[in-house]
Amino acid sequence: MFSRSANLLSRLAPLLFVVLWSTGFVGSRMGAPYSEPLTFLSMRFGAVLALLLAITFIQKVRWPNPRQSAHAFVSGFMIHGLYLTGVFWAIDDGMPAGLFALMTGLQPVLTAFFAHLLLSERITRNHVIGFVLGLVGICMVLLPRLSGGTFSVTPIQILVSLVAVISISFGTVYQKRFAANLDMRTATIWQYCAALLFCGGLSLFTETQTIIWSPDFIFALVWLVLVLSIGAIFLLLWLIEKGAVSNTASLFYLVPAVTATISYLLFGEPITLLQVLGMIVTALGVILASRRKA
């Protein structure tokens, strides 16, 4: 009975991760009017650390050795610190969220490249075709959001976005290579320590730390802490540990499609026929990229 439940969980975990990760825009969108981006992120990281420290203290979890802790610290700096700071800064600076989401379509391709170099993961024909389909699919999903308007994107926004995407791509491979098989609770604490030091430091030097404590802001903070920073991240680390990194990365192709669906359900944003077709193409690309054999 237990093995059957565990098998069901392992099958549902990728889908659950995509759904949870895609809801990140809900908290970001709700909390953005009430706080500066890096201040918001720093509070999020600090709240996660406080919660995880309490859990490890109560459960008396064994901590990793200094070398393992250092690896978790580095992976957290890339996956949480550089990536999320880049996302929040670029969008707050005026870069369209849809355009940034389009750029994140490079992530599965970059991750597969890094995994091939560092982990000797084989890049098969199915991977290549799946990655191409995924890119085409997310373009179809996001195109209606980018058309019909004029956007002014600065070189620094493009540079920050690229650094963010490269950071999370390399960070997931680094996690698999050097920080896998650690207790997720303590390893995640070290990860968020790195993220808080980086993001909090930038916030102190560049922002005023002004916060408007509205119900929407509190809900957004709680949502991002519990659902994204703990639920989704734990699932991501588990998926990285249990499977090929390139296969896990291909799941990110589904995020724009699921995000568009959630936008329709919660905010009434329309979904066009082109977006529906893009979702189908994206799903086919992920299925193909996740197959182990060519």
Phi/psi of residue 124, each to 5°? -95, 175
Residue pair 144/267 in contact (Cβ under 8 Å)? The answer is no
Residue 243 has pLDDT above 80, yes or no: no
Per-residue pLDDT tens for 146-201? 555 545 567 788 788 888 888 988 998 898 888 877 888 888 899 999 999 999 99
Confidence of residue 289 (pLDDT cuts 50, 70, 90): low
- What average pLDDT score do residues 79-87 get? 88
CB atoms within 10 A of CB 274: 14
Calculate the CA 59 to chain-centre distance.
28
Residue-level pLDDT at 60: 84
- What average pLDDT score do residues 281-292 get? 68
Residue-level pLDDT at 51: 92
Taking the model in full, what pTM does it have? 0.77
Residue-level pLDDT at 153: 65
Residue 293 has pLDDT above 50, yes or no: no
* Tokens 């698999």 sit on residue: 176
Helix (H) or strand (E) run with residue 275 in it: helix 273-290
Per-residue pLDDT tens for 191-225? 999 999 999 999 999 889 889 999 989 998 998 89
Residue-level pLDDT at 2: 42
CA distance 48 to 60: 18
Residue 145 has pLDDT above 70, yes or no: no
Residue pair 262/23 in contact (Cβ under 8 Å)? The answer is yes
Calculate the CA 66 to chain-centre distance.
26
Phi/psi of residue 211, each to 5°? -135, 135
pLDDT: which is higher, 206 or 124: 206
Task: Tell me the C-alpha to C-alpha distance, in Å, between residue 150 and each of 88, 142, 163.
Answer: 21, 15, 24
Closest by CA to 143, choosing from 26, 256, 5, 39, is 256
Per-residue pLDDT tens for 32-58? 789 888 999 999 999 999 999 998 888
Angle CA(178)–CA(179)–CA(180) in degrees, nearest 5?
A: 105
Instruction: Report the percentage of the chain scoring pLDDT > 90.
Output: 19
